[in-house]
């Protein structure tokens, strides 16, 4: 995982001159700002804080005793979430083959960083789960990872030339699959409801950050495919 983070840093700060580094830092801050100010990022964080202070335990215990959905749908929902990410990356009509490869690469990198972030949170923040069986309640592969992918899917869908109802349908399907997966883990006692909101907030931030940093206007993730290798590097126009 540390090599992946090193790879991302190289992408962000590629180039030798101080001017390029300065612009790269400004672009990184802009991407972080867009991701942090998205309603789903800050809204989930605020809602989690409010629940921790009030009824998180009550809601969680109610969901454990009264399941809303069958927990066995978790894996199908997570697979659907991933399929939507990579299929929408391929379905943006105006993209060239190389641009589609950039979307796929960015989606894969964003999903990998989300997974690594979840692992780091699990090992570094000690909080008991609702059943008191483990102390890794903060950070959920069933919430943080899918919501990161849904954020990237949302950006892909927004770039597609389809009717508005189609965009709403695809985005709803993506976020419902993420929410359903997160809910199954609450029902199983792996995380509280507020814990999953925290993970959703972090995941949404990561997904949007990757799009804004590597796919937004005037920012390109260059991918060159050769017979025996694939070359990836970052390039920005100032």
Q: Which of 26-30, 117-121, 191-195 has the lowest mean pLDDT?
A: 26-30
Per-residue confidence band for 1, with pLDDT thresholds at 50, 70 and 90:
low
Per-residue confidence band for 231, with pLDDT thresholds at 50, 70 and 90:
low
Assigned token pair, 89: 């990356």
pLDDT digits (tens, 9 = 90+) for 134-193: 888 999 999 999 999 999 999 999 999 999 999 999 999 999 999 999 999 999 999 999
Region 89-103 average pLDDT: 89
pLDDT score, position 94: 79
Q: 162 or 222: whose pLDDT is higher?
A: 162
Residues 6 or more apart whose Cβ sits within 8 Å of residue 129: 135, 136, 137, 189, 190, 191, 192, 195
Query: pLDDT at residue 194 above 50?
Result: yes
pLDDT above 90 as % of the chain: 72
Pairing mode of beta strands 230-236, 219-225: antiparallel
Cα 23–chain centre separation: 25
Report which listed range, 47-51, 132-136, 231-235, is most confident.
Answer: 47-51
Region 205-233 average pLDDT: 69
Per-residue confidence band for 23, with pLDDT thresholds at 50, 70 and 90:
low
Per-residue confidence band for 238, with pLDDT thresholds at 50, 70 and 90:
very low
Region 113-135 average pLDDT: 93
Rounded distance between C-alpha atoms, residue 63 and residue 43, angstroms:
22
Rounded distance between C-alpha atoms, residue 238 and residue 233, angstroms:
16
Among the listed residues 20, 228, 7, the one whose alpha carbon sits nearest the alpha carbon of residue 106: 7
Per-residue confidence band for 4, with pLDDT thresholds at 50, 70 and 90:
low
pLDDT score, position 209: 96
pLDDT score, position 113: 95
Average per-residue pLDDT for the chain:
86
pLDDT score, position 18: 44
């Amino acid at each position: 995982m540390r090599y992946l983070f090193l790879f991302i840093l190289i992408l962000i700060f590629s180039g030798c001159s101080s001017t390029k580094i300065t612009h790269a830092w400004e672009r990184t801050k802009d991407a972080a700002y867009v991701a942090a100010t998205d309603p789903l990022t800050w809204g989930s964080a605020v809602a989690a804080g409010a629940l921790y202070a009030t009824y998180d335990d009550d809601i969680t215990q109610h969901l454990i005793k009264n399941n809303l959905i069958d927990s066995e749908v978790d894996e199908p929902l997570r697979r659907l979430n991933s399929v939507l990410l990579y299929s929408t990356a391929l379905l943006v009509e105006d993209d060239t083959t190389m641009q589609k490869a950039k979307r796929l690469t960015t989606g894969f990198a964003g999903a990998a960083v989300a997974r690594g972030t979840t692992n780091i949170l699990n090992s570094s923040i000690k909080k008991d789960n609702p059943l008191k069986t483990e102390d890794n309640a903060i950070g959920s592969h069933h919430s943080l990872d899918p919501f990161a992918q849904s954020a990237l899917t949302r950006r892909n869908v927004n770039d597609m030339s389809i009717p508005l109802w189609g965009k709403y349908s695809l985005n709803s399907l993506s976020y419902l699959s993420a929410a359903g997966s997160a809910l199954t883990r609450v029902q199983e006692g792996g995380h509280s409801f507020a814990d999953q909101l925290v993970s959703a907030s972090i995941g949404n931030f990561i997904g949007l950050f990757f799009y804004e940093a590597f796919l937004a206007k005037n920012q390109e993730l260059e991918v060159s495919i050769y017979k025996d290798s694939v070359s990836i590097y970052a390039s920005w126009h100032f």
